[in-house]
Amino acid sequence: MISAVHGFQFSAFDVQKDVLEAIRKNDTTYFIFDNYKGYCDAYEPKMPDFTATGRRISEIKCLEYIWELKKRENATERAELCEMYVINQVKKGNIPEYIFTINSPVIFGGRHAVAREFPHMGAIGWRARNTTKMWKKWVFKCGGTLISKNFLLTAAHCSKISLKGVFDIVGNEPEVVRLGLQVIEDNEFLLYGDPVDIEIKRFIVHPMYDPPKKYFDIGLIELVSEVKFMSNIQPACLWSYQNFQTLGKNGTITGWGSTEADSHSYALQVAVVDIIDTPQCDLILQPYRNRNWRGLRSHQMCAGILEGGVDTCQGDSGGPLQVKIPLDTDDHMYWVLGITSFGIGCGRINQPGVYSRVSSFIDWIEEHVWK
């Protein structure tokens, strides 16, 4: 926007920057500012060094993620207070109104991202086959967890899917990850905001995964470019201990899979499940053993509601079993305990879901993500 005052032309954006700089320096040569408390000052705190003897790289990264989350929240709060201060100065006549359009996003560089409950969730997409819905470019058949700026954690069996009886996609390998949205259907963008779609650079499958056997079902997706963390896109932390007792008896599952009505959900589904003792689960699932799955191994775990009705289902594969980290912030961050692997049907009585235990693969994950 170009404004003209007293015969001079200038960029309003440049003048806005000059005024904010004057506020920060308390320079009253041209304008009067009262009761300024520093909210418009540059906010660039230095991240502490979280390295410590015996602390894993994934634990260090988790502490860094939490620190960055709190920094973003503090920066947002300061920006809002700065905006309120400037608006108040305009209303008092201390700053000419022609310089600032009240509530204009130009002042502070854009709107604040809407905070999501599960900002680490990513939808893994396959290229859609041409259909009557010409706007539909991707079909999302798996979920994943953002764990760094360019890696997601998911299930190995999501690296390739059989095309037998599948008519909605072109190839058997995924090509893209969608981040930042709870509703992933293309025609919902105008309502819920634009998605962040990033192409997949490579899919790293655990070397001991041997389909159709249902063991070592864990994989990593490397993205072609790094993502920028914000309130609706931020990583989860990895739980690196075999013991879950300190976390309680419940976990949360999330995914875009089938619902009770046996229809695919474009809105992220959330449910709380019980973490089931491994020997008990192995005994419960004993009737379902076969040549591809001969019972639980140490790198697997179970979760579900034994009474039935709540479970991960088709389309939820690769998504996390997680526990919320208790933080004194408005944003959310989670520890990932397991990766959705397989189940016997969906939500059946005495048929809990089986998950790959993240702590059993922590060395392998760290080696690839933070090498």
**Which residues are designated catalytic?**
157, 217, 317
Position 100: which residue type? F
Query: The tokens of 311 are what?
Result: 């479970």
Eight-class DSSP state of 264:
B
Pairing status of strand 334-342 against strand 237-238 = parallel
**Residue 147, token pair as written in the block:** 């764990």
**Local structure of 318: helix, strand or coil:** coil
Tell me how many degrees the CA angle 276-281-283 measures, rounded to the nearest 5.
Answer: 155
Amino acid at 246: T
Strand extents, DSSP E, the chain: 2-5, 8-11, 121-127, 138-146, 151-154, 176-179, 196-205, 219-223, 237-238, 250-255, 269-276, 300-304, 320-324, 334-342, 353-357
Give dist(CA 10, CA 5) in Å, integer: 8
